[in-house]
Structure 1
Amino acid sequence: MEEKIRVLIIDDSPFIHKTIKKALADNEGIEVVGTAENGRIGLDMVESLKPDIVTLDVTMPVMDGLETAEEMAKTHPSVKVIMLSAMGDNDLVTKATSLGVKHFLTKPFESKDLQKAIFNVLREA
């Protein structure tokens, strides 16, 4: 049996946690291994859960998505980051990419687009 792709969701919105879980539920090759409401908690969870992919919001309390992406690139470079945000302006996308984010999706997004992004990011690794 092939190993599932392990996904950690880091977003301060419980609604987004549910939305992402639902978007990935119909794909047997993907498993959501945890959720965190801010970047600091998320970084701690990366250490214990060992995800392949992290979906990351930009605007969060305690530690925002850009700070989290930068820290994750230093401490867990093998974990691929997909940033999800309602703000998709070019400056933000460029900044996120420079910090190690591998893909950027604008909310709201289609389930198939998130699944496609996950597989594409891992394929590019």
Structure 2
Amino acid sequence: MPLKILIADDNATVRRLLRRTIEDNAELNICGEAENGRIAVEQVRQSNPDVVILDFQMPVMNGLEAAREIGRIAPKTTLVLFTLYAHAEVLKQAEAVGIRRVFSKPDSFSHLVAWLRTMAVVGPS
């Protein structure tokens, strides 16, 4: 069964590029997209993804706030931060809210997808 992935990023171009890259892999499936953290939380309730990819800075509810809420409602969901803001303080905050991995934009598209493919084989934890 493919790994179900939700993408949450306020940038439509980033969402589109992630979707295209991820959909090239049969073991990965995009189950939803969100342009802010609040919509991401609602999508998690509806689609029960295995992995949520969150941008740090989004309107309405940022990625860390969304991660905290998603961790509360879906504790088995693996949370990933995909951001331009991967400095020490953000990494510390990300860990505190249950984010498992942080990938830096834009250099890490291939690293993120490789990690997702590994998750599809070994399973989310």
Alpha-carbon displacement from aligned partner over 1:62-91 (angstroms, at most 9, x marks no partner): 000110011111111111011010111011
1:19-38 counterparts in 2 under 5 A? 19-38=17-36
Q: Measure, in 2, the Cα distance between the counterparts of 1:59 and 1:110.
A: 17
SS of aligned partner of 1:101: coil
Residue of structure 2 equivalent to 1:11: 9
Residue of structure 2 equivalent to 1:77: 75
Q: Is the contact made by 1:103 and 1:121 (CA closer than 8 Å) also made in structure 2?
A: no
2:100 equivalent to 1:102: yes
1:51-62 counterparts in 2 under 5 A? 51-62=49-60
Q: How many residue pairs were aligned?
A: 123
Q: Measure, in 1, the Cα distance between the counterparts of 2:108 and 2:26.
A: 18
Q: Measure, in 2, the Cα distance between the counterparts of 1:70 and 1:26.
A: 30
Report the Cα offset of residue 109 of structure 1: 3.0
- Structure 1, gaps ≥5 residues long: none
Give 1:42's aligned amino acid.
A
Give 1:72's aligned amino acid.
I
Extract structure 1 runs of 4+ deviating beyond 6 A: none
Residue of structure 1 equivalent to 2:88: 90
Q: Is the contact made by 1:55 and 1:81 (CA closer than 8 Å) also made in structure 2?
A: yes
Q: Share of identical aligned residues, percent?
A: 28
Report the Cα offset of residue 7 of structure 1: 0.4
Q: Root-mean-square deviation (CA), in Å? A: 1.5
Q: Is the contact made by 1:24 and 1:111 (CA closer than 8 Å) also made in structure 2?
A: no
Residue of structure 1 equivalent to 2:63: 65
Report the Cα offset of residue 121 of structure 1: 5.2
Residue of structure 1 equivalent to 2:48: 50
- Structure 2, gaps ≥5 residues long: none
